[in-house]
Each structure stands twice: as structure tokens, then as C-alpha cells.
Amino acid sequence: MLKFLIEKEFKQLLRNPVLPRLILLFPCMMMLLMPWAANLEIKDNNLCVVDNDHSPSSRRLIEKVSGSDYFNLKQNASSYEEAMLYIEKGEADIILEIPRHFEKNMVKENKVNVMISANTVNGTKGGLGSSYLASIVSDFSNTSEAKPAIQMSVLNLFNPHLNYKVFMIPALMVMLLTMLCGFLPSLNIVGEKEVGTIEQINVTPVGKFSFILAKLIPYWIIGLIVLSICFFLAKVLYGVAPAGNLGTIYFFACLFILVISGFGLIISNHSATMQQAMFVMFFFMIIFILMSGLFTPINSMPHWAQWITVFNPLTYFIQVMRMVYLKGSGIGELGTQFIALCSFMLFFNTWAVLSYRKTNS
């Protein structure tokens, strides 16, 4: 009986002229566009410099800043007031003001102050831009001293080149699986309700468990195929490959797909129309994605928000993807995530089975 139900689901899916193409096109577009768009690196900040010293040292500092990938020297202003006009016009993002006697104070007193002013209408851009500029000025100061007191050597673990795509691509794969394996099941049963084919199933001796299992298995297979496409595109397009075992990722992906598909079926069971199911699923997807640590670190959230992330299944699978991709973690180091995903899987799918009302009306 289960075999024929699964066959029905695949035939129903392939009969739709849009869905099969969407399932293949969606991961390709996501992997092509999102790693470039979902990038919190702030580059090409427009810089305005106010050089009140006009010394060789101040010119070297300006050359060092403008030679960075993070800044474009757009304007040289004669005063701070003139520089502020460029900020107000949107022609500059950051002002670097070099005071008088900059070189003299640096040589004689080994101490100098510069002023950095950033346009923080966009708080992220302004904060990171001023931080980058402060780091460059600090590095210039250290290299200019005859005998620096402290020499630092920085080693970036797991992502030595600070490539943001290495950090984002594994999480984007999770978002992709969530969108496909969450939205499609959420529209499945309610779609049959609207068409009327659910009544034909209701008069058969098919049990609730078999019915829900037949709904889950096709999306489980689709999810693994889509994930494989993402692995291939990440390697070919960006040279990003997991440091750990692919089998570990597939193992946890099997659990996660059952979790999110089960959640979609719950929404489908409780919805009367496809429009209702779509809006309810969209509501939860926004919360899941924003509260998962995909774009912002969980540790940076307020304590009440961190407690919400405990009940978010995306949080655990994103942790798995990043730990396996970046650190090469194995199943033994992912015990917490395994227990959490298993718990979500049992809870959501049990709820999906119990909430399906098999009536003859």
C-alpha cells in the first residue's frame, strides 16, 4: 500500500508543470546569487580625508588607507565642516581627520590622535567601516614606531582567509532545504482538500501513519537531491568543500528534512485553504530563519531571544553544517544537535499523524 501511495505522490508532483523545474532551478539560483548578496563584509566605503598636517607621515597614512580594499578615497576636504557636507550629500561614508603636528607628535611623544567620523544611518556599515579604519590606523602606528612594545601575530582558525562565503554557504543550504521541504509539504494535503482528491483517500483503508509517511518520503528524497546539487555548486563555483565527512552531513540532513517536512504537514492538516497554509508557513519561516543564527550570532541576541532559539530546529542544523564544513566535526562532537533534531522529528511527525483527520465527509 505504501509503495502505491509514494508512487501517487511522485506522479502528482511531476504532473505539475512548474514544481519540478522550480525544485531544480531554486537551488541553482540560490547558490549563484545569495552568497554574493548575503555578505556582511563592508567594502568600498567612500572615504573623505581632512589632512591638517600635510606631512610625509600623514600622506603615508592616507596612502595606506586608500590602498585597502575596504575604502575608496573620494574626497580631500580642507576642513571638517566641508567633509560633513560630503556626508550629508551621500558622497562620503567616513571622515578621517588628521590633526596638526601629526608627524611631530608621533616622532617625539610616540602618541597621536586622529578622529574618525562615520555615517551610521546604516549602523552595520558605519560600525564595521569605522572599525576597519581604526584597525588600519593602529597598524600604521605600530609599524611607524622604532621599537613597538608589543608585536602581535594573528592566526585565524578554520577560516584563515576570512572568506565570508565559507561561513554563509553552509547556512544558505539549510535555508534552501527549509524553504523547499517546508513549503511544499505545507501545501500538499490542503491542496488535495481544495481539489477534492483527499476524499478518495479517506474512503480507503489507508492508515494515518502510512498516509503521512507517504507524504514525507518524496520530500525526503527531493531534499537529499537538492542538497547534493548544492554541494556540487559550492565546490565548482566557490571552491568550498566540507572539512569533515559528507556522510555526517547527509545523516543529519535526513533528520532535519523529516523535521521540517513534518512541521509543514502539521500546518497543512490545520489549514483550510492553500492561501492560509502559505501565510502561516511564511510566518514561521521568517521567525525560524531570523532566530537561527544564520545572519547574526546567537550570542549577540538578548537572553530572551537566545531562549527562543533553543526551540528552533534550524539552529541545530546550521550548527551542524558549519561545524562539519569549517571544523571537520564528526558525529561524536554533535551529540546535542543529534538529540535535538531527533526530538523535533518525533514531536512534529507524531503531531502530523495525530492531527490528520480521516473522515468520509
Q: Please name each of the domains of the chain with its CATH number.
A: 2-38+160-355 (no CATH), 45-144 (3.40.1710.10)
Q: Which among 64, 67, 69, 74 has a CA at the least distance from the CA of 95? A: 74
Assigned C-alpha cell, 333: 562532537
Q: What is the pLDDT of residues 190-206, one digit of tens each?
A: 887 777 777 777 677 77
CA atoms of 228 and 31, how far apart (whole Å): 12
Contact assessment for residue 252 and residue 334, using Cβ atoms and an 8 Å cutoff = yes
Can you point out the beta strands (E) in the chain?
45-51, 71-77, 94-98, 115-118
Helix 208-238 vs helix 164-195: crossing angle, to nearest 10:
150
Q: For the chain, 361 residues long, give each residue's pLDDT as a single digit of tens.
A: 677 778 877 887 778 777 788 888 888 888 888 877 766 667 778 899 999 998 888 898 899 888 888 888 888 888 988 988 888 888 888 899 998 888 888 877 777 788 888 887 766 677 778 888 888 888 887 765 544 444 445 556 677 766 777 888 888 899 889 988 888 888 888 887 777 777 777 677 778 888 888 888 888 899 999 999 999 999 998 888 888 899 999 999 999 999 999 999 999 889 888 889 999 999 999 999 889 888 778 887 888 989 999 999 999 999 999 899 888 888 889 999 999 999 999 999 999 989 887 654 4
Per-residue model confidence as pLDDT tens digits over 203-218: 777 788 888 888 888 8
Measured in degrees and rounded to the nearest 5, phi and psi for residue 222 equal -60, -40
Q: Residue length, the chain? A: 361
